[in-house]
Structure 1
Amino acid sequence: MGSRTEWDLAGTAVVAIECQNGTLGDDVAIPALRDAAGDLVDRIDEVLQAARAHGVRVVHAIYEGALGAANLGTEPLWRHIGPASANWTPGSLPTQVLPRLLDPADVVSPRHHGLSPVQGTELLPLLKNFGIHTVVLVGVSVNVAVLVTAAAAAGEGFHVVVARDAVRGVPPEYGEMVLENSIRQVARLARSTDLASQWQAAAANAQVAAR
């Protein structure tokens, strides 16, 4: 991505972080996060639809439960997530991507440990294998998973963009502070409507160049 508006669509992927029933659906592990979501799912859906329409790959990074592991981690957040997700297993309702956000062509990358999709997982190597160099992040939450993923992806050489109206933190005003004061240091911030228009323009330019 040579500038703020130049996109190599084939080298771009949207990574939807934990956009699943157990985080943004009815049976949630952290109710405060779902309650703060507001129109988040609508904004995520807009980004994913625009991505698919313009040849941008969509990858869902989900948490499928600890598979009975006794040691979930030392982070205090596990005191809340551990008991609430104790019965989560691969394919169970809480671990499934929200139906409206899932397309058969999407890639689903599960994990069974940690608080972010990138700690000891295959997500970033998988993206590199796909030829991806630019990652757009949507989902939850800005408090930990989005922040850690943005920093880790940037550290691995990816260009990182965070769709600021398609992510959320708890409380929401704190999420905005993290975006402005932390994530902005490792990623570009963009709004979902701007991404859609930029991708549309990039696709049109590619068609003209191919003639």
Structure 2
Amino acid sequence: MTGNDRLAGQLDPATTVLLTVECQRGVVGEESALPELAGAARSSGALDRIAALVDAAHAAGVQVVHAVAERRPDGRGANSNARLFRAAGRLPVQQLTGTRAVEVADPIAVAEADLVVRRLHGLSPMAGTDLDPLLRNLGCRTLVVTGVSANVAIPNTVFDAVNLGYTVVVPSDAIAGVPADYAPQVLRHSLALVATVATTEEVLGCWKA
């Protein structure tokens, strides 16, 4: 079996879910609280490739789930036990529930059949949220993980999914982090040990076949 055959077997539309992680206006959009990360996601082409994957998933009948990080205006339930959380609380753009900041960013299309999983705490869309039971109810066996950041949320998502028994595919050019050369290092030295690393074109080829 070739690598392409193996990937195609993993990406059966009936048992695959495409997940976008924190691809929201307040993170990767023009009004981002994290302009360096937003710039990396856009200048690298990662955001456009995520949009292409979402479009292809819609066309192929692959379920799409968007994972959004947000917080209440009063901060109830949000973490404060790490430097990252405390810094986020001081940023000029806040990921507040119900605001534009927590809407999925352009050019990613959100279809009526898509699911949106929102979290008020933690580092991963998988831990302590509805994501795992939703995936199981959908019959998901393979989770395609895209989005930001390669520094924190993407590795957390991949490790959590693998620990829960899912096969994970990471399109290497559909994630982003800072600095720009950090994502390839994470892919090579960490994520490739537990997930299938492919390119966006390879994934698209499986869904267009």
Aligned counterpart in structure 1 of residue 55 of structure 2, from 38, 49, 72: 49
2:74 alignment counterpart = 68
The size of the alignment, in residue pairs, is 200
SS in 2 for 1:13: strand
Distance 1:54 1:85, change over 3 A: farther
Whole-angstrom CA distance in 2 between matches of 1:120 and 1:182: 23
Quote how far apart the aligned CAs of 1:85 are. Answer: 7.0
Whole-angstrom CA distance in 2 between matches of 1:87 and 1:170: 20
Quote how far apart the aligned CAs of 1:73 are. Answer: 2.9
Aligned counterpart in structure 1 of residue 32 of structure 2, from 19, 22, 28: 28
SS in 2 for 1:137: strand
Poorly superposed stretches of 4+, deviation over 3 Å: 85-88
Identity among equivalent pairs (%): 38
Q: AA paired with 2:203?
A: L
- Check whether the contact 1:33–1:170 (CA below 8 A) recurs between aligned residues: yes
Question: TM-score, normalised on structure 1?
Answer: 0.88
1:205 alignment counterpart = none
Aligned counterpart in structure 2 of residue 18 of structure 1, from 22, 31, 49: 22
Q: Unaligned regions of 5+ residues in structure 2, if any?
A: none
Whole-angstrom CA distance in 1 between matches of 2:124 and 2:82: 12
Q: AA paired with 1:79?
A: R
Question: TM-score, normalised on structure 2?
Answer: 0.89
Q: AA paired with 1:59?
A: V
Q: Unaligned regions of 5+ residues in structure 1, if any?
A: 202-211
1:84 aligns with 2:87: no
Q: Which moved more, 1:155-164 or 1:34-43?
A: 34-43
Q: AA paired with 2:158?
A: A
Q: AA paired with 1:134?
A: T
Quote how far apart the aligned CAs of 1:172 are. Answer: 1.3
1:40 aligns with 2:79: no
2:149 alignment counterpart = 141
1:4 aligns with 2:7: yes
